Amino acid sequence: MQTIPNARLWHPQGWHDGVKLNVDAHGRITRSLSGGTTPQRVVPGIANLHSHAFQRAMAGMAERQIDPADSFWTWRETMYRFAARFTPESLHAVAAQLYSEMLEAGYTTVCEFHYLHHRPDGTPYADPTAMSRALIEAAQETGIRLTLLPVLYMTGGFDGRALTERQRRFGHDVDGYLRLLDALRTHQCETVRIGCALHSLRAVPDDAMRAVLEALPADSRIHIHIAEQTAEVDDCLAVRKARPVQWLLDNAQVDERWTLVHATHLSDAEVQGVARSGATVAICTTTEANLGDGLFPLRDYLDAGGRWGVGSDSHISVSPVEELRWLEYGQRLVTRRRNIAVTPASPSVAATLLQGVATSAAASTGHAIGSLADGEFADALVLDTSATQFAGVTDEDALDRWIFSGNRSLVRETWVGGRCVVQHGRHFHSDAIADRCRIAITRLLAD
């Protein structure tokens, strides 16, 4: 039996002193024991609810104007050019680098929204799971917990147009997609779960969505891009005569298994409908800002009691602190007020934000994680309380200091399933992983 040493432990109900977590051979907490006081502060690991691992390789390479009306849609063309260059080997190298960075920053689980299925010309690999397995192997190498979400991508728009040449490697028919899911489920284990991703309403026809949903296991997690762009809302209204989120709520059994990625552009009725459904919204603040998508209506959604979490999406930032901080700051810029994300029970902004990501983690990922309760996996972060940012720290301000005191990572150790994978802020294999990634990216850019 492994243990995580005595700590002052935070979970969504508050701080508890002198807690020692006993961990069984499967990485689950068997019981929590209370001991004496300690300055060491431990918080639950954070789930990254939305990732496109390959896009980490192009971070910072789409920041030059190519059109006076640059937007998500022009950025997407650059992304497609990068996507066409990846092989299973280069995807593994880039994903391992990304996942080690996530662990160092405080993410302990990642939901990988994966659509690079085939060769660039759209023909399948001899092993149709080759690209997916590259991600699984990268996760297992680094020690991050993974929810792999193979993507169904069938059409290029709401009008049913065929995929473009650059989209062909993403595509499946329904039968081929379900075969892929079946093959990948043989790789499930305590640290890997296989879910389902519907790319978007524009990329998955209504009948295909229904067929896939009927075929899924009852406990499968379902993620979908939705209402990210105003053009998507307009096109959905034109073709399906409803806004995207409202159409989904009316035509699918949306519940706690679902994660709606972005959901940036919501009407008041959609805010209430998503909150009532029990679905999670994956807010990707830094990517949504980078792409000029818009700002999620956080205050209204909190008032409605909605469930939410964060994702780093295109990975122009790999930091849960930055995702949470700018989620709050965006609301301040719009309202011209401070301390927006609070509740009557929690006047601390950071505590409210961390409660949000903690309470959505299990529902969105399918893993027993989020609050370091007995029976959950021991996925934990040890904060660097020796840092000057924590001088004179108290329970009332510890979380706010972590989230709002600067850009230096204050995570000293990261534990996944009771196993320490980051110590003194560094992943155990970071140097070797970084060397492979540099070689892979250099080759990608040279081809």
| Identified catalytic residue from 92, 117, 118, 262 | 262
Residues 6+ apart with CB under 8 A from 167: 80, 153, 156
The structure tokens listed for 368 are: 């027993």
Residue type, 188: Q
Q: What is the 3-state secondary structure (H, E, C) of the chain?
A: CEEEEEEEEEECCEEEEEEEEEECCCCEEEEEEECCCCCCEEEECEEEEEECHHHHHHCCCCCCCCCCCCCHHHHHHHHHHHHCCCCHHHHHHHHHHHHHHHHHHCEEEEEEEECCCCCCCCCCCCCCCHHHHHHHHHHHHHCCEEEEEEEECCCCCCCCCCCCHHHHHHCCCHHHHHHHHHHHHCCCECCEEECEEECCCCCCCHHHHHHHHHHCCCCCCEEEEECCCHHHHHHHHHHHCCCHHHHHHHHCCCCCCEEEEECCCCCHHHHHHHHHHCCEEEECHHHHHHCCCCCCCHHHHHHCCCEEEECCECCCCCCHHHHHHHHHHHHHHHHCCCCCCCECCECCHHHHHHHHHHHHHHHHHCCCCCCCCCCCECCEEEECCCCHHHCCCCCCCHHHHHHHCCCCCCEEEEEECCEEEEECCEECCHHHHHHHHHHHHHHHHHC
Q: Is-catalytic flag, 172?
A: no
Q: Can you tell me the distance from the alpha carbon of 349 to that of 399, in angstroms, rounded to the nearest whole number?
A: 9
Q: Is-catalytic flag, 435?
A: no
| Identified catalytic residue from 313, 315, 367, 379 | 313
Which residues are marked as active site? 262, 313
